[in-house]
Structure 1
């Protein structure tokens, strides 16, 4: 069972002071968070791509590369790369470079993107949303498979037996599919035999179990060894020494972000009752002391079949020292509990 962290490198206003941290400072803080995650024994750190004022990481591979030479073991992934509006050749080259710097620890998490700011920015039509992702994923997988590529599509210039460099340390470079629970994307990942990441940020996580089964059936039908296909989850959360204190600390920034995005997407108002329901044992918020969070992750493993859990922290702007403490507790207190319990359960 792998345990890690994801971040969107958010720069929303501090709910207590109204201060907005600079993009540069937040990026430097995230590099420190990755270094700490490596030191406390976490398995993976993911940085998400966005192209708007309240997120600082439009280039995840660059942020991850800054941490690569300062870390030794932790895997470094995008979370996600918005492949539909990017050039697969450049994505491959960026992450192959990261793979070289980290000596084989890079991963690409490819997604269609729930935020759409990158489409007009790079000149893509949202009417081509599905077609763009399918075509560009096809090309990315070809680049991972072969040093020299011949390829032709609709939305990008053809490639005629050209070499793509540098080549990564890992052969092939790992590509995961990120999904918010879309049935089509789950089936696609299974059919292609690619690892799956589910964004479980609402409702009851156990409701994702049928999607995992659908993914495995699609993989088996396509002839892939299901036992070798990992399934990950990404969920919001925060860890403190005391559950109620952790809940009170994480709520203000969470409420702010959920209401900002909610207004953009037509969601209802997010209040404390919504938050408290989500942090219950069956909810999708992983907030509390180490034992509380560990037991929820173990439950997710047993009921849904998740083999990698990534805690998204912070949600909105929080003091850097609080985020660092949560990462420390995840690595030193939560991860050992989860690994020990999962090993016992699987052994017997």
Structure 2
């Protein structure tokens, strides 16, 4: 099982001014954190796309390109690229460029987008939410498989004998993961296409997602794909602390960000009871000391048979020092313990 870290570039809000902290400083910190993840032997790093004042990253591919030049082994992926409001030709070009810079370490995670700010920003109509994703995924896959592209859809101008360059290092092909939040339609799409699936499990109980992942596996095989090539991952909020007091104290950061997001979605205030429940064995938060996080990842592997786990670590913008320590503990304690357990 591959183990990695994901981030959105959360920016904490100054309570005195009401303004987010410096995006410039946050981006510099993220690059240091990615380098540490690589140095400590983690398998993958993912970066998500947002267009809000409380997130520093609107262009994951730019940050990943910078990371490609300072890392050696870690895979670099988007978690996710909001493909519905992106241009598939440019998405492929950007990530194939990252791939060439990194000597073959780039991947793309694509999703429909649970945040919708990018749609009006780039001039897309939300009434086409589903059709945009279906068409653009079809085009991206066409580009991924063909240097010369011939494609026609309804919401974008056709491509006729168009070369898309540069080509990625593995015969022009990049790994493309489908990221889902829990809708059967999205899971079925990934299974039919034979694409790797990553499920965002950030609330409730992971066990609730078991039928969905089993459905993916069943449909993947039913549609003629090789079960030995099947890849399933989960992406969940995580934070590894030195002790229980630090893990408990992280609630303040976590709740602050959940409330900021929730304010625009009509959610009630996030409570300590929710936090503690999420940290329990059956909850969706991988927040605690190294041993507790290790046990929970192994429990997810037992439950789902996952091949990848990405711990989303910067919710609420913990300090750079706290982030570096969490990554260090994840790489030096959690990852070796998980790998050892899975080789028995």
TM-score range, shorter chain: over 0.9
> Which is further off, 263-272 or 250-259?
263-272
- Aligned length, in residue pairs: 343
Are 1:129 and 2:129 counterparts? yes
**Matching of residue 47 in structure 1 with residue 23 in structure 2:** no
Tell me the equivalent position of 1:203. 204
Structure 2 residues without counterparts, runs of 5 or longer: none
Match of 1:219 in 2: 220
Under a length normalisation based on structure 2, what TM-score does the superposition of the two structures give? 0.97
Cα displacement (A) at 1:14? 5.2
Q: Using the alignment, how far apart are the partners of 1:151 and 1:102 within structure 2?
A: 29
Counterparts of 1:115 and 1:19 in 2: how far apart (Å)?
21
DSSP 3-state at the match of 1:176: strand
Q: Which residue of 1 aligns with 2:140?
A: 140
Write the distance in 1 (CA, Å) between the matches of 2:231 and 2:152. Answer: 31
| Residue of structure 2 in register with 1:298 after alignment | 298
What is the TM-score with the length of structure 1 in the denominator? 0.96
- C-alpha contact (below 8 Å) 2:20/2:54 kept by paired residues: no
Once the 2 structures are TM-superposed, how far is the Cα of residue 52 of structure 1 from its aligned partner?
A: 1.3
CA distance in 2, matches of 1:258, 1:51: 16
Q: Give the structure 2 partner of residue 102 of structure 1.
A: 102
Alpha-carbon separation, structure 2, partners of 1:47 and 1:252: 23
Question: What is the alpha-carbon distance in structure 2 between the residues aligned to residue 195 and residue 114 of structure 1?
Answer: 19
| Corresponding residue for residue 265 of structure 1 | 265
Cα distance in 1 between the residues matched to 2:320 and 2:328: 12
Matched residues in 2 for 1:36 and 1:16: separation?
32
Q: Kindly indicate whether the alpha-carbon contact (under 8 Å) linking 2:179 and 2:200 is maintained by their aligned counterparts in 1.
A: yes
Matches of 2:65 and 2:34 in 1, distance apart? 11
1:203/1:278 contact within 8 Å kept: yes
Report the 3-state secondary structure (helix = DSSP H, G, I; strand = E; otherwise coil) of the residue aligned with 1:106: coil
The CA deviation at 1:310 is 0.6
- Tell me, yes or no, if the aligned pair for 1:99 and 1:170 is still in contact at 8 Å: no
From the superposition, tell whether residues 342 and 17 of structure 1 become closer, same or farther in structure 2 (CA, over 3 Å): farther
Q: CA RMSD in A?
A: 1.3
Change (3 A) 1:19 1:117: closer
For structure 1, the 5+ residue unaligned runs are none
CA contact (8 A) 2:35 2:67 kept: yes
Measure the CA separation in 2 of the matches of 1:262 and 1:136: 29
1:10 corresponds to: 10
Partner SS state of residue 99, structure 2: helix
